[in-house]
Chain A
Amino acid sequence: MRRVLSLALLIVAMGSGPVAADVIGDAERGATLYKRQCSACHQIGPDAVNRVGPRLNGIFGRRAGALEDFKYSKPMARMGADGLTWTLDTLHAYVENPKALVSGTRMNYRGMADAEARGALLAYLREWSDKPQNIPEAEPTALKTNPDLSPAILALKGDADYGEYLAAECSTCHRADGSDQGIPAINGWPEEDFVVAMHAYKQKLRPHPVMQMMAGRLSNDEIAALAAWFATLD
C-alpha cells in the first residue's frame, strides 16, 4: 500500500493537471504531529540546535546536507552536492518515504503516508523557514492520488532477462562488487525502493543529471525489468 501511495505522489507531484488554490495545510495540527513524530530527534524554533537530526529552522529552500555544523550521512551529503534542495515537493516526497528520495539516509523514520497530514506538518515547518514567500500556496492540492495510473504501474511484472540487458548500462558506473566510491552501489536494492527511486529521477525530483537522463528514457516496463533483475542479485 505504501508503494501505491509513493508512486502516485511522485507522478502527480510532477504532473501538470489543474491545481486548485489552497494553503499547504493546517499548521496547528502540524505542530502536534511534529511534537509526536519528529521532536525526539529534531529541534525547531528560536533556540533550536542540532541533535540526532539537524535543526529544521530555514529548511525550505536549503540545500540538502548544507548545515556545516551537522554531520550528515554520506548519501544525504551526496544528494545535496548533486543539487537536492528542500522545496515543498521534495519535502513531501522525503517525509512520505525518506528512502525513496535519499537511499541510505540515516533518518530512521518510516514515513508519513497521509498527504494531508504531511501538508499540515510542512505548514508548521514553514513557519520557521526564512523565506516563506518562496513557497507556492497552490501546490498541495495537486497531491491527490491518481487511481488510474498507479495500479497500472504496479501491475507491471518485470522481465528480468530484459532487465539484465538494461543493467549492463548501469554497470559502466555502478560497480558490481558493491564499492560506492563517488557513485553509490545499487546491488541488492529492494525492488520497491528501486522502482520508486527511478521514478523520482525520471520525474526530476531527484537532482542528478546523469540519472535523470538515464531514468528519463526508461519506460515503466523497463524500470520494472531493471528492478526485477537487480532484485535477483546479492
Chain B
Amino acid sequence: MTMNRRLFLGTMAAGSAILSAPMVLGQAKPRVVVIGGGAGGATAARYLAKDSQGALDVTLIEANPIYTTCFFSNLYIGGFYNFEDLQHGYDKIAAGGVTVINDLATGVDRAAKTVTLAGGQTVPYDRLVLSPGIDFREGSVAGWSVADAEVMPHAYKAGPQTQLLKAQIEAMPQGGTFAMIAPPNPYRCPPGPYERISMVAWYLKQNNPTAKILIADPKENFSKKALFEEGWGRHYSGMVEWVGPDMGGNEIEVRPGSMEVLIDGEVTKVDVCNVIPGQVAGQIAALAGVTADSGWAPVDPANMRSKMDENIWVLGDSSAQGDMPKSGFSANSQAKIAAMAIRGDLLGSRVFPAKYSNTCWSLIAADDGVKVGAAYEPTPEKIASVESFISQTGEDAALRKATYEESLGWYAGITADMFG
C-alpha cells in the first residue's frame, strides 16, 4: 500500500515536472494572480508564496484594504464580538512575498491571460485563482433589489451592511418585529441565517424582551434545524416564529417603502427586515465566463481547477464542487489543495491526493455552541462527503460551552491561517 502510493505520487510529480519545464525555462517566474482576499483567496495567496519560497510571482487583488470576515459577523450582532475583531489587513501577506493590489477586478481576458482593474491597470497571469465569494440574484425576492439594501439590509457580505443591520435592531421600538427573508439553496454559510436569528434573539431578550422575530423561509429544512429549534425554545420561548414553505414562506414580497412583508399575500408591518436573497458566484467569475447556467463555477473535484479554463482555479462560495457547504472553512480547505496543485502545475513540486474538510460552529446563546462538520474526498463527479458529525440535542452545558470556546479558537486559527 505504502509503496504503491509513493510510486503513484512519484510518477505524478515527474510528469508535472516535464510538462512545466518549458514555462520554468521560458521566463523568470510564473505569475499567479488571485482575485478575492477572503478565506479562499487570502489562504491561496499566502500558501502559494510561502510554499514556493520565491519561485512564483504571486499577486492578490482585493477591493478592500481591510477585510471584514462574514463568519462570526453574527456574533457582532449578538454583542459577543466587536466589529474591529472581524477586521484583518493584508500587511503580513504582503510581507510574505505577495504583491497586494487594493483594487476591484473588472474583467478577465482569458485569451490574453490578463486581468483588468477598475483603476485601469492590466495584470498578466499564467494561472488565475478566482475566489470572489457571492453576489445576489436580482429578482429572487419580489419587491427587493440590491438598491434597497440601505433600507432592508442583506448583511450577507460583512462590512457596513452588518453595522447597518445591528443599528436597525438597536433602534427597534419596544415590542417591535424583526423579519428575515431566508435564502433558497444553495447559499453562503448554511447555518448562518439561523445563527443570526439566535443572535438577534439574544440581543432582543436582553434589551427588548417583548419584541418578535419572524422568519419567512422557502426551504422545508435547514442546517442544524433540530438544534436551533431546541435552542430557540429553551432560550427565547415565544419570541421566534418560523414560516416554512407549506405556510407561504416561499410566496414572499417585501415593500421597502412601507416596511411591509407579504407572506402568501398577507401583510405584516415590520420594524427591521433582513432580506437574504438568492445567490450566485461573485460577479468576476461570470465576467470571466467560467460560470454555468446555475450561476456557479464548475470545478474539477480533484484540485478546484475550472472546468471551463485550465489556467483558472475557482475557490470557495463561487465554485460548484459537490457536497461541501459554502463556508469560510471550506474555502480555506480548498485553497490549500489548489495552491498545492498550482505549484505542481507550474513548478513540478509534489502533488498529493486531495483531502477536504469543513466544520461550521454556530452560537445559539451565551456559552451554547453547536457544530456540524464533515470530511470530503474527490470522486470523478464531485467532491463527496465521506464522514460527518453533528452536535446532538440535549447535550450538557459543559459540552456546549467547550464547543463555543473551540469556535473562538477556530476563529483565531483560521484568520491566522488566512492572513498570517
Contacts and interface: CB of A to CB of B under 8 A. Distances in A.
A182 B406 contact: yes
Nearest to B357: A169
B221 interface: no
Contacts, number: 96
Chain B interface, DSSP helix/strand/loop, else mixed: helix
Interface string B1-35: 11001100100000000000000000000000000
B247 interface: no
Contacts of B2: 156, 221
Interface in B393-419: 398-399, 401-402, 405-410, 412-414, 416-417
Contacts of B136: none
B333 interface: yes
Nearest to A176: B416
Given A165-B340, A168-B47, A183 B402 contact: no
A213 interface: yes
B73 interface: no
Interface in A178-198: 179-183
Contacts of A80: 398
B5 A221 contact: yes
A175 B414 CA distance: 8
Interface residues of B, number: 40
Nearest to B402: A81
A164 to B, nearest CB: 8
A32 interface: no
Contacts of A106: none
Contacts of A174: 413
Contacts of B332: 172
Given A172-B333, A182-B409, A213 B389 contact: yes
Given A81-B398, A216-B387, A165 B414 contact: no
B387 A217 contact: yes
Interface residues of A, number: 34
A52 interface: no
A177 interface: yes
Given A78-B402, A182-B405, A213-B388, A169 B410 contact: no
A217 B398 contact: no
A81 to B, nearest CB: 3
B416 A177 contact: yes
Contact of B416 (A159, A165, A175): A175
Contacts of A216: 375, 387
B315 to A, nearest CB: 14
A29 B333 CA distance: 52
B359 interface: yes
Nearest to A224: B2
B374 interface: yes
Given A181-B412, A217-B355, A217-B386, A171 B417 contact: yes
B159 interface: no
A20 B256 CA distance: 73
A172 B399 contact: no
A151 to B, nearest CB: 14
A168 B355 CA distance: 10
Contacts of A219: 1
Nearest to A83: B399
A216 B416 CA distance: 26
A173 B336 CA distance: 14
B412 A179 contact: yes
Contacts of B333: 169, 172
A161 interface: yes
A149 to B, nearest CB: 14
Query: Among A156, A179, A180, A217, which residue has the most Cβ atoms of chain B within 10 A?
Result: A217
Contacts of B408: 181-182
Contacts of A82: 399, 402
Contacts of B401: 81
11 contacts: A162-B352, A172-B410, A172-B414, A173-B414, A175-B412, A181-B405, A183-B410, A210-B359, A212-B389, A213-B387, A221-B2
Interface of A: 78, 80-83, 156, 159, 161-162, 165-166, 168-169, 171-177, 179-183, 209-210, 212-214, 216-217, 219, 221
